[in-house]
Structure 1
């Protein structure tokens, strides 16, 4: 694996953090986010073949400037954006859809009696079998650990939210403690949650939700603590099997691995790459060549054609507008392990 820094042709990406980055039809769409002064509602489109960047004009009902929202790509080449906010007190629970063909935004309709998730940001969203699954985040008063499902196959008709796992207190040991700035990945109907923070702890735990049975199970990783750590207690990875506390990191599914990059570990912003083997459920390291990005969190990460693309981020002081590629190269065997399962039985036992 090898790091490359990209100097895009055309428009330069402004320094941004807490934006969304989504792949659709071979292009990468980057929307929203903020710098140290303001939030934005700009759309950038990056072509990974030509390394060209554009900032097109968009139409329709454009979302307001916001950060820490989520976005998922649909097979229909539409992108669904949910939640986010601006400044210290503004949070929302709004839905927007970007048609990547017409470059127009719209607001899908909700059914008259549909429940609605609370306003939030720093949550996650994943797509599975025609539905979007939203987990956690924060509403300005507390961290959250609820799960909501929204069928998004037909965006022309009214949509209905469904609460499939309610919000509970940190004392509930049957599900992840409330958190935001974690990561979520969907693997064959299993939602994998890693890391995040409740404003006090930097979590190192991994949880799996079976979205069909709505049963949670914590993964017994070697050296992991359910509460992670904070401040000077952060010890990081130890020879590939220790615990890894992270918030505002990225976690990208590559075959049977999660590629976890950057984020804050309780002490500082990291620039290391670590892998979670989803077959053995153990942490791993691989040799990476080239010059890595500087330590950061709140960046965007997208996998496309055996390359991981990273956009922007923040190191506690500086907001970045750079673009890096992690070329999997000779390690492209990672995606070859794609047929595996993660099982959670009715007793919550991971198998």
Structure 2
């Protein structure tokens, strides 16, 4: 019985023993760490709670205990409140296999020993005290969760130690080898690496349902699809009468099955020009027929229509092998071609909003002094109208019609001539001929990208070419663009379309072979030309 008269509980220890224990714990803390320990419990200041010693190292506090210290660690443990509980025997759990070392985590000792505030102490601190907590808050190294689980599950009943499992190597991703460069028509894959300033040519992978092998057809970009209309077919012996589409992203061909309306007859050597979601098809023909009809194809509804024109208004003669260019906001500019009897050099504008034609008649050619000059004279600077021609290329740039190349059966041209649609005056902006390289072209394909006129393939009066020419419309001179990769076979009567930084070349012929392939010319660094502001062509 205690001094207060209360009966002494069974198992209770005298107060003196508690004081001795408290002094023993404090002495162990002083001997193990220089940092004074503080209590984690709010009642520690009142003397009702015991304080725990601060572990000198968090990493060692969570390491695996050795067999020599296992029996001591199994006997007692301290709670977070600092109160020592009665001796508790923990059930034995198997040791986990050692973790594979990682370069991103600190290396933990593989020795099965555990370090606490005092190696002779039979208690393990389950939670960090003030010094270790500040280390965590300051961004210091924290013990991995896997190590905590290992220390808690390391108490094995009976002390059985299973053999460690082999360390598992990290799974490495399968190496993706560099793709083989696109093949060329000769079958070689030994192609040098292209510079970023170069143009790169390769055979285009494609699948689906392509059109028949064609020449003298048209390819028109609307959205992300290229629409192929008309053209002479080698397999059927006539002209292609359907509409095929090529998706520039998926590389898939499809032939439209739900086409309706009044469609044009099978034609070739016609023109197709997109204005919005409508493709306007003019001229063309087959065999001995020539057309002057203007058809419209709606790419949204897949519907053909033949607008009714005023028969009393002037209209161009039937033709094919001409050029057609878009003139904002809703017009087409037609130049040249042939009517089956002779080549042409007239210029017409068709307004798609009013369905009317008007002809551009240029004034007489004049020399530098303003005098009327002779056609072909050396002193003529403005005018005359370009020579009659067909199978040339035409584009509207800065409100001016740019004509290049073409032929008339007797001559192949290499001149760049510009028609100012406001003054109706022609200007020849070609530089002097280069005797080292011929730039004559007919049956070619061309497009304007930024300030450059790209000319693809064609016939130079001697043979079909597989190169690309570039004319700078701002500086009025030819420039050189290196074409790397696998060159496409020389051809004419083909089509080319610029889309997504690439030029797509389809079909064509070299008089002996009809080509069914498609080639891609990646512009590389030159693709940024398409995003430059519209250029201005200054004429003298």
- TM exceeds 0.5? yes
The answer as to 2:421 corresponding to 1:211 is yes
**Cα pair distance change 1:13/1:322, threshold 3 Å:** farther
Q: Which has the larger radius of gyration?
A: 2
Flag structure 1 segments of 5+ consecutive residues without an equivalent.
Answer: 225-234, 344-349
3-state DSSP of counterpart to 2:525? helix
How far does residue 146 in structure 1 lie from its aligned partner after superposition? 0.2
Q: Who is 2:400 aligned against? A: 190
The answer as to 2:104 corresponding to 1:104 is no
1:54-78 deviation digits (Å, cap 9, x = unpaired): 0012111111111000111002x00
3-state DSSP of counterpart to 1:321? coil
Find the partner of 2:447 among 249, 252, 259.
252
1:4-61 deviation digits (Å, cap 9, x = unpaired): 2123121133210100111112211010000343222221101001001100121111
Find the partner of 1:44 among 231, 237, 244.
244
Alignment partners' CA distance in 2, 1:172 and 1:99? 43
3-state DSSP of counterpart to 1:332? helix
3-state DSSP of counterpart to 1:162? strand
Contact 1:185–1:193 (CA under 8 A) maintained in structure 2? yes
Question: Bigger CA drift: 252-261 or 330-339?
Answer: 330-339
Flag structure 2 segments of 5+ consecutive residues without an equivalent.
Answer: 1-198, 365-373, 377-383
Alignment partners' CA distance in 2, 1:24 and 1:333? 20
1:76-112 deviation digits (Å, cap 9, x = unpaired): x00000000101x211111100000011111011024
Q: Who is 1:281 aligned against? A: 476
How far does residue 185 in structure 1 lie from its aligned partner after superposition? 1.1
Question: Bigger CA drift: 118-127 or 26-35?
Answer: 26-35
Q: Who is 1:221 aligned against? A: 431
TM superposition outliers: structure 1 runs of 4+ over 3 Å: 336-339
Contact 1:98–1:106 (CA under 8 A) maintained in structure 2? yes
Q: Who is 1:267 aligned against? A: 462
- Greater strand proportion: 1
**Cα pair distance change 1:33/1:11, threshold 3 Å:** same
Alignment partners' CA distance in 1, 2:339 and 2:481? 37
Q: Who is 2:98 aligned against? A: none
Normalising by structure 1, we get a TM-score of: 0.88
Find the partner of 1:299 among 488, 494, 510.
494
Alignment partners' CA distance in 2, 1:59 and 1:7? 30
Q: CA RMSD of the aligned region, Å? A: 1.8
Contact 1:307–1:327 (CA under 8 A) maintained in structure 2? yes
Q: Who is 2:293 aligned against? A: 94
How far does residue 267 in structure 1 lie from its aligned partner after superposition? 0.6
**Structure with bigger RCO (C-alpha 8 Å, 6+ apart):** 1
How far does residue 172 in structure 1 lie from its aligned partner after superposition? 4.1
Find the partner of 2:283 among 78, 83, 94.
83
The answer as to 2:266 corresponding to 1:65 is yes
How far does residue 162 in structure 1 lie from its aligned partner after superposition? 0.6
Contact 2:504–2:519 (CA under 8 A) maintained in structure 1? yes
Q: Who is 1:165 aligned against? A: 361
Superposition pairs of residues 1-16 of structure 1, within 5 angstroms: 1-16=199-214
Q: Who is 1:227 aligned against? A: none
How far does residue 339 in structure 1 lie from its aligned partner after superposition? 3.2
Alignment partners' CA distance in 2, 1:153 and 1:302? 26
Question: Bigger CA drift: 4-13 or 334-343?
Answer: 334-343
Q: Who is 1:181 aligned against? A: 391
Contact 1:271–1:294 (CA under 8 A) maintained in structure 2? yes
3-state DSSP of counterpart to 1:144? strand
Q: Who is 2:412 aligned against? A: 202
Alignment partners' CA distance in 2, 1:189 and 1:330? 27
Contact 1:191–1:211 (CA under 8 A) maintained in structure 2? yes
Alignment partners' CA distance in 1, 2:430 and 2:223? 37
Alignment partners' CA distance in 2, 1:10 and 1:40? 18
How far does residue 223 in structure 1 lie from its aligned partner after superposition? 0.9
Find the partner of 2:224 among 26, 35, 52.
26
The answer as to 2:530 corresponding to 1:327 is no
Q: Who is 2:6 aligned against? A: none
